[in-house]
Amino acid sequence: MSETQLQAARAGKITPAMEQVAAQEGQDAGSIRELVAQGKIAIPANPGHTSLAPRGVGQGLSVKVNANLGSSPDRCDPVEEAEKLAAALEAGADAVMDLSTGGDLTAMRRQVLNLSPVPVGTVPIYQAAVEVTAEGRGIIDITAEDLFRVIEQQAAEGVDFMTVHCGVTRAAVEHLRSEGRITDVVSRGGSFLTCWMLANEQENPLYEQYDRLLDICQKHDVTLSLGDGLRPGCLADATDRAQVSELITLGALTQRAWDAGVQVMIEGPGHVPLDQVQANVVLQKRLCHGAPFYVLGPLVTDIAAGHDHVACAIGGALAAWAGADFLCYVTPSEHLALPGPNDVYEGVITTRIAAHAADIARGNQAAIARDRAMAQARKAMDWDAMFELCLDPKTAKAMRAGSPPGEEEVCTMCGKYCAMKLVNEHLHGKD
């Protein structure tokens, strides 16, 4: 049986993936190995994903951005899914997740794995639910064998990380019931398991058979992304007993995964008031032993429909500054429709802005140097350098081309009254 990144790190070995992450981050490979060994950095890198260029997530690394892709029962075009993946990669996503629930799910996932050089994640219970309903059964009829067969299949195909809602236990559901939430459960996987447990009066098989899950993940070096199935779906539900009880369980499951040589990330809440974001990050890091934290947003208001990517970026910047390691994007169509390629591109760029702002606040020297270089390029009126340095050169170039100035070195905002041009001329004597 092959070693996982975690097992190799604990044995004192520096793997090629660790060397690649170190080169990307401008760090020493030995330091990366040490933090992988401690579980504070995860490198999702299934050996079966042959097109992968690994990325690291966790302590001391740049904040990473994930883009969710995937079809739905109402919209399942493989061509569009390939376009969405291309848009995510062009915009600079560090990872993608295939959340398809419509069409040929295996073909969709294999397409993403073949085309993606970044880590690919899934939520296996989606495929299990689609398959049982296609057979005329209901979601409450999913069996443990249905679920673990899908997990084994996806792991063998090369999926790098999997969201599994192991902390949605019967006890957590009782906390949910007594809490009196407004939005109850908004996680799709969390809702499947909640309904299954209520209907069958049995424990969550992902929790009850956790060792079986660990065996599969260790065999294929799949990183567990321990999902927040009871994440709040509105500000009023944030940081309640249901959410925190699940997080406590995930902390215990993190230690068990590490003991089995399996890498772990912890998923965090979706809707959180601005004043609770930092507390949520501190709580996760404490309860889950410093494991990498992967947050959806968080969205800091419930009323930004059509602009939820902005609400996400505000919360994401604060969460990452407080210690979150991995930001899951939100697109402008969140809560409204399945995103298309343009939504994907805009969502990734907006979340990358949040990640970069957090990197600066966290003292990342490469991020700080990039902003300083941009300031110098602006002072020099060097448009080529400005386009090269900005996070979205394509949009920046198109905006400038669409409104050409009368004088080449300025833009049409100020024209000949450009403050920087005037001061360059009179303070520094530059023509």
Q: Do 318 and 407 share a domain, yes or no?
A: no
Closest CA to 95 of 48, 63, 59: 63
Give the Cα separation of 379 and 323 in Å (integer).
Answer: 33
Q: Tell me: do 354 and 371 sit in the same domain.
A: no
Answer yes or no: is pLDDT of 428 > 80.
Answer: no
Q: Determine the 3-state secondary structure of 216 from DSSP.
A: helix
What is the DSSP-derived secondary structure letter of residue 271?
B
Domain hosting 406: range is 366-427
pLDDT band with cut points at 50, 70 and 90 for residue 431? low
- Note whether residue 38 is domain-resident: no
| CB 420, CB 409: distance < 8 Å | no
Residue that is last in its domain, among 362, 377, 410: 362
Neighbour tally for 75: CB within 10 Å: 15
Q: How confident is the prediction for the chain on average, in pLDDT?
A: 96
What is the predicted pLDDT for the residue at 88?
98
Residue 411 annotated in ligand binding: yes
- 290 annotated as ligand-binding: no
- Flag whether pLDDT at 95 surpasses 70: yes
Is 271 known to sit in a ligand binding site? Answer: yes
Determine whether the annotation assigns residue 414 to a binding site: yes
CA distance 105 to 150: 11
Please tell me the predicted confidence (pLDDT) of residue 329. 98
For the domain that residue 195 is a member of, what is the CATH number?
Answer: 3.20.20.540
Judged against a pLDDT cut of 70, whether residue 253 lies above it is answered with: yes
**Residues with Cβ < 8 Å from 47, sequence gap 6 or more?**
2, 158, 220, 221
How many structural domains compose the chain? 2
Domain boundary among 362, 391, 417: 362
Same domain as 422, residue 352: no
Give the pLDDT band of residue 427 (cuts 50, 70, 90).
confident
Q: Does 406 belong to an annotated binding site? A: no
Q: Are 259 and 203 members of one domain?
A: yes
Task: Read off the pLDDT of residues 349-384 as tens digits, 9 standing for 90 and up.
Answer: 999 999 999 999 999 999 999 999 999 999 999 999
- Residue 299 included in any domain: yes
230 is in an annotated binding site: yes
330 and 385 housed in the same domain: no
How many angstroms separate the CA atoms of 358 and 127, rounded? 35
Last residue of a domain, one of 308, 336, 362: 362
pLDDT at 401 over 80: yes
Same-domain pairing of 106 and 238: yes
* 187 among annotated binding-site residues: yes
Count CB neighbours of 159 within 10 A. Answer: 27
Q: What residue has token string 């890498």?
A: 263
